[in-house]
Structure 1
Amino acid sequence: MAKIAFILLCHKDPEAIIRQAQSLTAAGDCMSIHFDASAKSEHYDRIREALRDNPNVTFAKKRIKCGWGEWSLVAATLNAVEAAIEAFPRATHFYMLSGDCMAIKSAEYAHDYLDRHDRDFIESYDYLNSDWIKTGWKEERLIYRHWFNERTQKKRFYAMFELQKRLGLTREIPHDIDVMIGSQWWCLRRQTIEEIIDFSKKRRDVMRFFATTWIPDETFFQTLVRHLVPEQEIESRTLTFLMFTEYGMPVVFYNDHYDLLLSQDFLFARKISPEALELKRRLGVLFSTEGVTFQISNEGRTLFNFLSNKGRIGRRFAPRFWEKESSLGRERELLIIVCKKWHVAKRMVERIRQMTNIPCVEYLFNDEACHLPDLGGIQSTMGKRHRHRRALMRMLFDYYKTDRLVVCMDPANLDLLEDFGRDRSTTRLLEIECQFSDEYLIDHIVRAGLAGACTPREKVERLLPTVRNDMIHESDQMRDAEFENHHHLREMDPSEVGVRAVADFLTVPSATAEAIVNVEQLFAD
């Protein structure tokens, strides 16, 4: 049976550390603690005194002053790991934690999970070829030497970087390793940990290299695990649930996040707020409880993005200045079908193709898989389509050799609708307004990843008002924008009203519009 040695790096709140250690070791696991040497000595003494009689707790033999982005974090981790290897010979797994982490599953569940999955859990993506680093330095972290702390010695840090850059003092990455990157929160098997310690003692060249890289806690273990362990024995993920805001700040969990945390496919979570005393109490009790069944829905990140992005939809892809100044062409007509139910709009588009000679493109700004012709790469990613929206549309007009084009968009694309509505070309909108039953919205919530197949129905139903109001809000925003040539096709309207709307939208005879609107099961789900 799995026995976990928790590797705890911490620097504050001694009472919380004591409670964390007592809780995690009560179920038979163990812990090795590194308490930052720059923290108050009386805090360290308090921790040691409180845990002195706990045989499942040990401490790193050497304490190090740690700084963000420094090698000191890795060195402190290695010291705690070596202490754990020596003190706990029966430990099968080593789990990296911080003082802000707490278990969100029972010890029984965690042990069973690790027994069933004989592998190392660590995020490890190719450093140079992946997009794990979104902005800022990439190669510079490795090929230049970083001796100073960027946060506390900013002038020295950047002065040394600029000096090396001017003098061309770059260095080679050790030839036999491929640098990887990922989250520093890992869970590794004992054999892997022992191989890492052995490697670190034999390969001083690799240790010297990482010692002067920047933010090595995101690369050192990630690289060595990939170097030492067969790929099929590694799962490139963390077992610690964590999220970040758009501003790169970690999401903090509070008392009302208990149910959400338990439903995620992770064993721990960070960061738990110091003020979330009730959440900490409930999670502490949970870890020692036996016989608990967990319904895993794993909707946390998707749900957070949905709720936090409300009111900011359409802000992500800002138009470039050359897009603002360009035009589709004064003589052209862009016909936009706006509908939340994509399958309804696609049925409408198929009938338009059959009854007219107007080229049609489906949800090109929403669906990565939307079929588009080769336009020189501008159509290849969703980001490019949004950034070069007008250029893309001009190229589609040219490709189809037409002055009239039908496209489908989601009501959430208000920024696109406003942009095209300001163009010198003629833009017409047909908003298809559908009815949304509770069952349809529940299916939509699952498809959107806001809930999982195992999410209890009562939890999903609590989301229904928010999702329904969100759809109503999108329609209200379109009305408030007061678009010219804005036509409406409502599911509840008589057929003749819809025929007039489609005839005006497409400028086609009523008979053609009637054949389009009266397609069988147009609004069926």
Structure 2
Amino acid sequence: MAKIAFILLCHKDPDAIIGQARMLTAAGDYMSIHFDARAKPEYYDRIRNALADNPNVTFARKRLKCGWGEWSLVQATLNAVEAAVDAFPRATHFYMLSGDCAAIKSAHYAHQFLDAEDVDYIENFDYFDSDWIKTGIKEERLIYRHFFNERTQPRLFYASFGLQKRLGLTRRIPDDIEVQIGSQWWCLRRRTIEWILDFTRRRRDVMRFFRTTWIPDETFFQTLVNHLVPQKEIRSRTLTLLMFTDYGMPVTFYNDHYDLLLSQDALFARKISPEAVELKARLGALYADDTASFQISNEGRSLFQFLTGRGRIGRRFASRFWETESTLGRDRTLLIVVCKKWHVAKRLLSMVRHVTNVPAIEYLFHEEDTALPDLGGIQASLGKRTRHRRALMRMLFDYFDTDSLIVCMDPSSLDLLHDFASDRSTTRILEVQCQFSNAYLEGHARRVGLAGEQTPRETMERLMPTIRGDINFESDRIRDAEFENHMILREGDAPEHHATLLAQFLDVGYDKALEVAETKHLFAD
């Protein structure tokens, strides 16, 4: 009978990880865990201690700091796979999971399903001929080298990309490799896994190539399986149910999706909402039920497309996405940096990205050209972003696959602050109060159209007190609102005081906060 070694990549919610590991291994299967090195050390320690007496659980020997779209995700998977191969010689199949996945069939059903055919389950579509990539760059993912992360280092990513294009610094794909693409959620036989590990040791040229491709978790295993395994032994599908909106965002499942999930032709589903406590409990009980039977109708994707499609033409009995997802999520934290000097906030965010790797977006409600991912058009204009502010923010949380997100706002946006602060999520506001010289205020007056190059000096001098008063008024309104988590970082205070505030705002240690606080020329104009 099949025995599964689950390869779990995770970065949050240690209690859920512990419960998931205990449930899956109780059926006689195994689990190898890679817990992101960026996560809090106490989370990892809690998982290790809770599962220390479970012989069916092992851990990747080396933990990596993972970033979406980076090679680090593939290497973390390989590290967990190697640990599983060594620790579990009886494992017949290796199944990729995330912390957001849940079993939607019983263990008995899963084992019988895998025993029925001696094949590998992995999506592998021709990279160039298929339409698997819907938006964004395609060939450029491969023929250029990508050293920076598009989400956390967008300016460096596109600067490096643009420089290589201008200089014609393309590279060849290894001659004997036909690049394939597909979902990263696969289930492979032990023999296939051993062939892949052997390949990684022999073909250093292929490894070097994939290390600097963009989003290699969608191409690396897919390409190697296609290269190593006969086509008749590959089923080009994933055994994990994934559904996406027409905005490219993954559909999240809640308590009332239980019956729908059971009827789908899959063994696991992703993503399960952290708030779906009842659903997780019912699915956990189901996994241990050897007598459960399943009627597979597999209508989930077509039903979802039908219901959402009716909403597009005004004939709907399903809510629109900005109505059903009007909250950011109870377990999420939105960090808002409020600053009148936009260049100061941008410097601060640049250092925060460097020190914490928390996704950070600049003035998305104020600057049309703020670097944003393609979210199906909702990000196309400032008007759309503001009108569907919560939907936009939730989609950004999903896009970055994070529970913490930082954005910048101008102090004039009191309505936005009120809206986000009233959400069920946690909102923390860091107001950066700068000192304003007359020269800066004159430049500000010209930038916003209150003055021109030919404005007389007398007029400008009369204007200065009014502009300064407006800036002070905006700050006073924010304080008068008495937001629950409102902190004020003032220019002129000692870096040590700044670090104390930043540690509280970012929920990081004092040393990291001090590194951010000591950003060179932070307040320079």
In the TM superposition, 1:35-50 aligns within 5 A as: 35-50=35-50
CA deviation after TM superposition for structure 1 residue 108, in Å = 0.2
SS in 1 for 2:272: coil
Q: Which residue of 2 aligns with 1:252?
A: 252
Q: Which residue of 1 aligns with 2:64?
A: 64
Q: Which residue of 2 aligns with 1:79?
A: 79
Deviation sequence 1:112-163 (CA, Å, 0-9, x none): 0000021000000000111111121110000000001111111111000000
Aligned amino acid, residue 291 of structure 1: T
Q: Does 1:111 align with 2:111?
A: yes
Q: Does 1:287 align with 2:260?
A: no
| Bigger Rg, which one | 1
CA deviation after TM superposition for structure 1 residue 38, in Å = 0.4
Q: Which residue of 2 aligns with 1:197?
A: 197
C-alpha distance in structure 1 between counterparts of 2:237 and 2:32, whole Å:
23
Aligned amino acid, residue 110 of structure 1: A
Deviation sequence 1:18-63 (CA, Å, 0-9, x none): 0000000000000000000000000000000000000000000000
C-alpha distance in structure 2 between counterparts of 1:22 and 1:172, whole Å:
46
Aligned amino acid, residue 183 of structure 2: S
Runs of at least 5 residues in structure 2 that lack an aligned partner in the other structure: 316-525
SS in 1 for 2:5: strand
Identity of aligned residues (%): 78
CA deviation after TM superposition for structure 1 residue 314, in Å = 9.2
In the TM superposition, 1:3-42 aligns within 5 A as: 3-42=3-42
Aligned amino acid, residue 272 of structure 2: I
Aligned amino acid, residue 134 of structure 1: K
CA deviation after TM superposition for structure 1 residue 10, in Å = 0.1
Aligned amino acid, residue 310 of structure 2: K
Q: Which residue of 2 aligns with 1:99?
A: 99
Change beyond 3 A, Cα 1:156–1:192: same
> Where does structure 1 differ by over 3 angstroms across 4 or more consecutive aligned residues?
none
Q: Which residue of 2 aligns with 1:243?
A: 243
CA RMSD of aligned residues (A): 1.0
SS in 2 for 1:282: helix
C-alpha distance in structure 1 between counterparts of 2:105 and 2:30, whole Å:
17
Deviation sequence 1:227-275 (CA, Å, 0-9, x none): 0000000000000001010111100000000000000000000000000
Q: Does 1:221 align with 2:221?
A: yes
Deviation sequence 1:390-411 (CA, Å, 0-9, x none): xxxxxxxxxxxxxxxxxxxxxx
C-alpha distance in structure 2 between counterparts of 1:73 and 1:208, whole Å:
15
SS in 2 for 1:291: coil
Aligned amino acid, residue 269 of structure 1: A
Q: Which residue of 1 aligns with 2:278?
A: 278
Aligned amino acid, residue 173 of structure 1: I
C-alpha distance in structure 2 between counterparts of 1:33 and 1:77, whole Å:
9
C-alpha distance in structure 1 between counterparts of 2:224 and 2:27, whole Å:
31
After TM superposition, the score normalised by the length of structure 1 is 0.60
SS in 2 for 1:306: helix
C-alpha distance in structure 1 between counterparts of 2:26 and 2:309, whole Å:
41
Q: Which residue of 2 aligns with 1:53?
A: 53
CA deviation after TM superposition for structure 1 residue 308, in Å = 1.3
Aligned amino acid, residue 113 of structure 2: Y
In the TM superposition, 1:48-447 aligns within 5 A as: 48-313=48-313
C-alpha distance in structure 2 between counterparts of 1:314 and 1:223, whole Å:
43
C-alpha distance in structure 2 between counterparts of 1:26 and 1:266, whole Å:
21
Deviation sequence 1:57-112 (CA, Å, 0-9, x none): 00000000000000000000000000000000000000000000000000000000
Aligned amino acid, residue 275 of structure 1: E
CA deviation after TM superposition for structure 1 residue 307, in Å = 1.1
Aligned residues: 315
CA deviation after TM superposition for structure 1 residue 309, in Å = 1.5
CA deviation after TM superposition for structure 1 residue 313, in Å = 3.2
Aligned amino acid, residue 10 of structure 1: C
Deviation sequence 1:433-480 (CA, Å, 0-9, x none): xxxxxxxxxxxxxxxxxxxxxxxxxxxxxxxxxxxxxxxxxxxxxxxx
Aligned amino acid, residue 89 of structure 2: P
Aligned amino acid, residue 172 of structure 1: R
In the TM superposition, 1:426-505 aligns within 5 A as: none
SS in 2 for 1:156: helix
C-alpha distance in structure 2 between counterparts of 1:45 and 1:12, whole Å:
12
C-alpha distance in structure 1 between counterparts of 2:9 and 2:284, whole Å:
19
SS in 1 for 2:311: coil
Deviation sequence 1:480-519 (CA, Å, 0-9, x none): xxxxxxxxxxxxxxxxxxxxxxxxxxxxxxxxxxxxxxxx
C-alpha distance in structure 2 between counterparts of 1:304 and 1:262, whole Å:
15
C-alpha distance in structure 1 between counterparts of 2:108 and 2:289, whole Å:
8
Runs of at least 5 residues in structure 1 that lack an aligned partner in the other structure: 316-525
C-alpha distance in structure 1 between counterparts of 2:204 and 2:288, whole Å:
42
SS in 1 for 2:295: coil
SS in 1 for 2:274: coil
SS in 2 for 1:9: strand
SS in 2 for 1:97: strand
C-alpha distance in structure 1 between counterparts of 2:52 and 2:302, whole Å:
43
C-alpha distance in structure 1 between counterparts of 2:311 and 2:96, whole Å:
37
C-alpha distance in structure 2 between counterparts of 1:266 and 1:117, whole Å:
15
C-alpha distance in structure 1 between counterparts of 2:48 and 2:296, whole Å:
37
